[in-house]
Amino acid sequence: MICIDQLGRRIEFLKPLRRIISLVPSQTELLVSLGLSDNIVGVTKFCVHPKAIRSQKVIVGGTKKVNYEKIKKLNPDIILCNKEENTKEIVAHLHEEYPVHVSDIYSISEALEMIKQYGEIFNKKTEATTLISKIRLEKESFDDFVSTMPQKRVAYFIWKDPWMVTGKDTFVDHLLKANRFINVFDDKDRYPEISKEELSSIQDLDLIMLSSEPYPFSEKHIDELTSISNAKVILVDGEYFSWYGSRLVQAFSYFKTLHEV
């Protein structure tokens, strides 16, 4: 079997894909949703959904640093990576020994394409098709809902010390636009650092979102930013903005709650 991943890399599989290592948390959750839990042999320490997965599988490291010896002992048939989550060095090193599929996702359509590819390479076409249909129905319903909502100017924070926000060419920015939010930093590349002075100078900022990941923002950070901006500051579940697998089924219901604040 031959597959072209989302980087355009040609991958040839010479045997059934029974042993899977996933180095991407959202893709681990997707595998379980497709009924592939028993085939997963290795995950990262950040693969927190479903909750029991890390106690059931071998943890081979994080997303930026892995234990190659642990991976070798697991003898995987395929390793799943992502362009943003994992480093070029990890992908290149693993590619020398194993088939490596790399996803590259900046939009919902690309997320659905990944799900379709997984359905094909793991012989789960029916499950993948069903999941894709659910996500599309949720998105269509949300589009109708959000079309009646007023637009808001927002800033989406992902880190502190230094303060970092989401800019353009990111999956998070794509979902902000799906919400009809205007990202005030969409003129900056990807994840720019900003100063408090820069934030305080922004006019007509309606909403500041503090993501739950990768930085664990809390109530104290709301107070900190409220002191320098007139915008409303809220904590948001970052998984719904950055996990591009089966979590998208629940994401749009969550997004509706953000238009009520």
List CB contacts of 140: < 8 A, sequence separation 6 or more. none
| 36-45 confidence digits (pLDDT tens) | 999 999 999 9
Q: At 47, give phi and psi (nearest 5°).
A: -80, 90
Q: What is the pLDDT of residue 218?
A: 93
| 200-209 confidence digits (pLDDT tens) | 899 899 999 9
| Average pLDDT of the segment spanning 183-204 | 92
The CATH number of 2-104 is 3.40.50.1980
Q: How confident is the model at residue 195 (pLDDT cuts 50, 70, 90)?
A: very high
Of residues 132, 102, 122, the one with CA closest to residue 6: 102
| 208-236 confidence digits (pLDDT tens) | 999 999 999 999 999 999 999 999 999 99
180, two tokens? 């009809």
Opening angle at CA 175, ends 117 and 79, nearest 5: 30
Question: Within 10 A of 158 (CB to CB), how many other CB atoms are there?
Answer: 22
Give the CA distances from residue 79 to residues 70, 102, 103, 256, in Å, rounded to whole numbers and listed in that order.
Answer: 13, 9, 11, 35
Q: At 70, give phi and psi (nearest 5°).
A: -60, -40
146-258 belongs to CATH 3.40.50.1980:
yes
231, two tokens? 């915008």
Cα(99)–Cα(112) distance, integer angstroms? 22
pTM reported for the whole predicted model: 0.94
| Average pLDDT of the segment spanning 103-119 | 98
Per DSSP, the residues of 109-154 read: HHHHHHHHHHHHHTT-HHHHHHHHHHHHHHHHHHHHHHTTSPPEEE
261, two tokens? 């604040």
| Average pLDDT of the segment spanning 93-122 | 97
Q: What is the mean pLDDT of the chain?
A: 96
Q: Is residue 1 pLDDT above 90, yes or no?
A: no
State which H helix or E strand residue 176 sits in: helix 171-178
Of residues 35, 30, 27, the one with CA closest to residue 246: 30
Please state the domain extents for the chain.
2-104, 146-258
Q: What is the pLDDT of residue 203?
A: 84
| 19-74 confidence digits (pLDDT tens) | 999 999 999 999 999 999 999 999 999 999 999 999 999 999 999 999 999 999 99
More confident call, 203 vs 110 = 110
